[in-house]
Every structure is written in structure tokens, then in C-alpha cells.
Structure 1
Amino acid sequence: MNLLFVADPLDTFKPYKDSTFAMMREAVKRGHRILFCEPRHLHWQRGGRVSAPLREIALTGSLDDWYTTVSEGVVTALADVDAVLMRKDPPFDSEFFYATHLLEQAEREGARVFNKPSALRDHPEKLAILEFPQFIGPTLVTRSESDIRRFHAEHGDIILKPLDGMGGMGIFRVGPDGLNLGSISETLNRGGAQTVMVQRYLPEIVKGDKRVLVIGGKPVPHSLARIPQGSEIRGNLAAGGKGVAQPLSARDFEIAESLGPILAARGLLLVGLDVIGDSLTEINVTSPTCFQEITQQSGFDVAAMFVDALEAALRVSAA
């Protein structure tokens, strides 16, 4: 099959840990052809179809110069490849948003896109948890500084974070003394102009912020617990957290098995659930990662499970 990856520039990949690279490597093992473009390459003109100048790559087997270019610049309609995998990393900015609309137009023209573009738009990674209150801890979404103060007065120890952050960016903890609460609120909500998420601090974070992957509606049996280091409160790997693979707990399975079929039915082939203790904190849909860390530490082949699910989805769509 011809698999088109729409992602960040190839030279920014870190193949020793990149999940998109792991997907490509598994696909090549099965004889699939790898095509590539960036979101900025997508274009549409009346009378035509959503297209892009594509690069075909081959993997070298090395982690240094990890790919070679077989051909490039061949303008191809997305509907003419077997599958389009949208793997552009966050942030979910205006250009990402516009790319999902172009990809949705490509779907109307016959392209098969994973994750589904409309589902990417409909599931902002922090706000998507609001649909599942039975699995989350005390949470507030607001622009109001007075609301934030009331939430702090009720819960004492809280986390504040912007809705468009990634990799732990912009996350603050305010303890019972309320130190800097006003300043942090003003910084994040910009005088009431920007919406903020506030959650009760979950002390279980010391054991890790678990990334639970759900593929084709089914949970990967191991999570990656991202454990804060030193004085950090953030477990994100981008913020220096240590990743430790571990079997899913009973609660992890409960959350994943409840949400998995719902999200898969909406066209989300791959989802990354973030769980601290027993509480769901985020639903990641743009380009969930941790494939390689889980596989290397647990022996469970996450990329193989993903390509299995992709092939199965394509068989269903072709039937």
C-alpha cells in the first residue's frame, strides 16, 4: 500500500524515540511504500482535488541518516494514495486547523485519513475530558479570576494550565498558601481574554503521568508513566520526566475500555489518554507518542498493533 505521512519536516525527527518513525519502520517491514509531505504542502484549486508534491522515502536501517529520498515533487491527489496519516505535532494552531479542513475535503474526494480530520477538530486535547466527568478529578474551565480563586479556596492545592499548551508548557501549581495565584491567573487568562483549565492537584503525580495508548478502540496493555524529576511537578518527557513502562492498572483498563470504542467510532484510530492516579486528565489525538519507549521496556510491539489496526480499517473502508 501507499501510505502518506503528513508531518513535521523529516529532518526534525528523532528516530530513536519518534512514534511516527516507528510506524514507518513497521509499515516498511510489511512491504508498504512510504510517502511524505508537510501540512504546508497541501493545496486545492477549483476543478481539482486536494493534492501535494510528495516525497517517497526509503529507510536506511540507521538512526543517524535514517532515510533516503527515492523521488520527490510528484504532485499527487491525496485520494489516490491508500491512506493518509496526519501526524503533525501540536500545537493545534490556526494552520493545523486549516489543514484539517483541507484533509476533510480530501476525504470527500475519496481519501482515507487517520485520525479523521473532523475528529481532530472536535476533540481539543484538554477539553475533550469534559465529556467523561465520571473519570476526571475536580476540574474548572473559565476565564474568570474570581472563579479560579473560589476553586482554590475549595480545593487548596491546584494546577492551572492553558488550553493550548503542550509538553507541560505553561503549567503552574498553587498550594494552600495561594502564593502568586493572582499573578499566575493574570498571566494565563490575560485579564479575562483567555480560557484556563484548573484542576485539583493530584498527589499521585509523583508516581507518574501515565500515557495510555488506545489503538482501534483497544488499549495497549502497557502505559508509559512519565515521572517528574527533582522539584518538577510535570511528568512530561519534554519537561524532563522519566518514562517508565508499566502494565495498565484495573482503573486504566476501565477508562480505556470505556472511551476506546466511543472514540474509535468517531474516526480516532489512535488516542493517547493521560491518567494520573485514577483520574483522566487529557485525551491526546493530534499525534500521540510513546510507542518506542513502551516497546523497548515492555516488549509489546505498539507499532505492529497500530499497523494491524490501520490495515484492518482500510479493509473495512474498501469493503
Structure 2
Amino acid sequence: MDLLFVADPLGTFKTYKDTTFSMMREALARGHKVWACEQSDLVWRRGARVVARSARAIALTGSSGKDWFEVLAEREMALADAHAVLMRKDPPFDSEYFYATHLLQQAEREGARVFNKPAALRDHPEKLSILEFPALIGPTLVTRDAQAVRAFHDEHRDIILKPLDGMGGMGIFRVGADGLNLGSIIETLNAHGTRTVMVQRYLPEIAQGDKRVLLIGGKPVPYCLARIPQGSEIRGNLAAGGKGVAQELSARDREIAETLAPVLAARGLLLVGLDVIGDCLTEINVTSPTGFQEITNQTGCNVPALFIDALEAAIAA
């Protein structure tokens, strides 16, 4: 099958940990043809179909550096001519990403099979999607209003504030009972009332890790990746220096995963990354979930194989 990956520039991949690379490697090992393009390559014109103007068929070289791939062919490709299109552009979910989902949705109208489904990508912003499942989350506030944030702090005393468009732990602040710098942090994040922020009660279980629980094809992967903060850092994100430790799902992890898996799969989300701290769901990641290689290397559970299995089944359905 021809699989077209819409991704970041291939030369930027850190192949020792990149999840998209692990998907490509597994697909190639099964005899599928892997094509790659960038979000900027997507083009539509009246009277024609959505195309990737510079789709490249690739093979692996065995190198772990920037030359990890070789280009076998390069051409314009209509997305509907691929057996599957995988949207794997990393965040941020900015205007260009938003526009790309509309081009991908047009490609769907022309017959393309896109994973994750473009409309579902738009409908599930990664911070706000948890609001649909209040029984699974901790105390949470979404607001622009500084006084509402202060009242939330008065109630819970130890809180986390974060922007709705952040990634990799960027822009996350903790404010303890003394309220030190709360005003300045609010001003920084809400830009004097012009930007919406999320505020949550601090969960001390973060010391045991911010767990990434993967859902593939409507089923939980049996292992998660606990991203454990290091030193004085409060963030477990690997991009912020957290240590990734794979571990079996706890009973609560599985409960959360099995509650969400069928709901999200029915909406066209083949791959989802849930973030869980302690007993609480904190985010639902749908744009470009990661963690495949860390879990596979530490447990022997072949997560890329589980994903390609689910992709092949979805294409055949």
C-alpha cells in the first residue's frame, strides 16, 4: 500500500525516539511504500484534487543521523491516490495547521482516507477536550478573567496555570499557597484579559509521573510512559527534561482509557495520547501523539506494530 505521511521535515527527525519514524520503519518492513510530504506541500486548485506537490517515496539507509532516509522517487501526488494519509505534523496547532485540516477534509471528499480524521483533529483541542469528561478530571477552570483565577487559587491554594496552545510543557506555572507572583503570571498568560487560560488544582502525584496512555484503534496499549519530573522541575514533559519510564497501566489508567477509547475511535481518532496524573485525566492529545519507541524499547511491547495493524484494519474496513 502507498502510505503518505504529512510530517515535519524529515531531516529534523530524531530517529532514536521519533514516533513517526517508528511508524514508517514498521510500514516499510511490511512491504508498504512510504511517501512523505510537509504541510506546506498541500495544494488545491479549482477543477483538481488536493495534492502534495512534492511527495517523496523513501527508504531507510540505516543511519541514525540526518541522512537516515534516501529518496527513491519524488512527484506530485493526489492525496486520494494514497491508500492512507497520516497527519503527523507536530504541534503547535496554529492557523496553518487549522487550514491544513480543511485541505485534508477536502481530500476526504475526493476519496482520501486520512488518519486522524481532520474534523476530529479540529474538534479535539488537546487541553479543552477533557471538559467533555468531567468525572475523569481534577478541579479545572477555563477563563480569561483574573478574578476568577484568584478565586480558584483561594479555594485550592496550590494550582497550575497553562496556556491553551502550549506544547511540551511550555508556559506552565505553579503557584503555591503563598500566591507568590500570581498576578504577574496571570498577566503573562491571559495578556490582560485577551487570552483564555486553563487553571487546575496541582496534583502532587506528578512526582510519580505524567503518564502518557496510548489508545490505538479504540484499544489501550497495555503500557504507558510515565514522564517523571527531574530535580526542582514540576513538569514531566520529555521536552522539559522529564525522564520517561514505561510501566503497566494501573487499574485507574485502564478505567480512563477504556472509557474514552470507544468514544474517540468512533469519531475517527485512530491514535490518541491521554495524559494522566494520579487518578486524573489532564489532556487528550490527538495531533501527533508520541512515546512509541520508549515504550517498545523498555517493555518489548511493539507499539509501532500495534499501530500499523490498526491502520491496515482501518484501510480494509
Shorter-chain TM band:
over 0.9
Residue 29 of structure 1: CA displacement?
A: 0.8
Q: Say whether residues 1:240 and 2:208 are aligned partners.
A: no
Q: Which runs of no fewer than 5 residues in structure 1 stay unpaired?
A: none
1:28 corresponds in structure 2 to 28
TM superposition score normalised by structure 2: 0.99
1:90 corresponds in structure 2 to 91
Separation in 1, partners of 2:257, 2:28: 29
1:16 corresponds in structure 2 to 16
Separation in 2, partners of 1:246, 1:314: 31
Q: Say whether residues 1:220 and 2:225 are aligned partners.
A: no
Number of residue pairs matched?
315
Q: Say whether residues 1:135 and 2:136 are aligned partners.
A: yes
Residue 62 of structure 1: CA displacement?
A: 2.6
Separation in 1, partners of 2:201, 2:220: 26
The 5-angstrom pairing of residues 91-170 of structure 1 reads: 91-170=92-171
- Report the AA paired with residue 196 of structure 1: V
Residue 63 of structure 1: CA displacement?
A: 1.6
Separation in 1, partners of 2:61, 2:160: 44
The 5-angstrom pairing of residues 53-68 of structure 1 reads: 53-64=54-65, 65-68=67-70
The 3-state SS of whatever aligns with 1:37 is: strand
Residue 14 of structure 1: CA displacement?
A: 0.5
Residue 106 of structure 1: CA displacement?
A: 0.1
C-alpha RMSD over aligned residues:
0.5
Separation in 1, partners of 2:195, 2:128: 14
Separation in 2, partners of 1:256, 1:90: 23
- Report the AA paired with residue 266 of structure 1: R
Residue 245 of structure 1: CA displacement?
A: 0.3
Q: Say whether residues 1:39 and 2:35 are aligned partners.
A: no
Between stretches 39-48 and 53-62, larger displacement belongs to: 53-62
Q: Say whether residues 1:178 and 2:173 are aligned partners.
A: no
The 3-state SS of whatever aligns with 2:89 is: coil
Question: Which of 66, 69, 72 pairs up with 1:70?
Answer: 72
Q: Say whether residues 1:261 and 2:242 are aligned partners.
A: no
% identical aligned pairs: 76
- Report the AA paired with residue 71 of structure 1: A
Residue 50 of structure 1: CA displacement?
A: 0.2
Separation in 2, partners of 1:161, 1:58: 40
Residue 76 of structure 1: CA displacement?
A: 1.3
TM superposition score normalised by structure 1: 0.98
Separation in 1, partners of 2:136, 2:62: 42
- Report the AA paired with residue 68 of structure 1: E
The 5-angstrom pairing of residues 265-276 of structure 1 reads: 265-276=266-277
Q: Say whether residues 1:279 and 2:291 are aligned partners.
A: no
2:200 corresponds in structure 1 to 199
Separation in 2, partners of 1:113, 1:98: 15
Separation in 1, partners of 2:314, 2:111: 15
Separation in 2, partners of 1:177, 1:228: 22
Moved over 6 A (4+): none
Residue 284 of structure 1: CA displacement?
A: 0.2
- Report the AA paired with residue 36 of structure 1: A
- Report the AA paired with residue 66 of structure 1: W
Residue 66 of structure 1: CA displacement?
A: 1.1
- Report the AA paired with residue 72 of structure 2: V
Q: Which runs of no fewer than 5 residues in structure 2 stay unpaired?
A: none
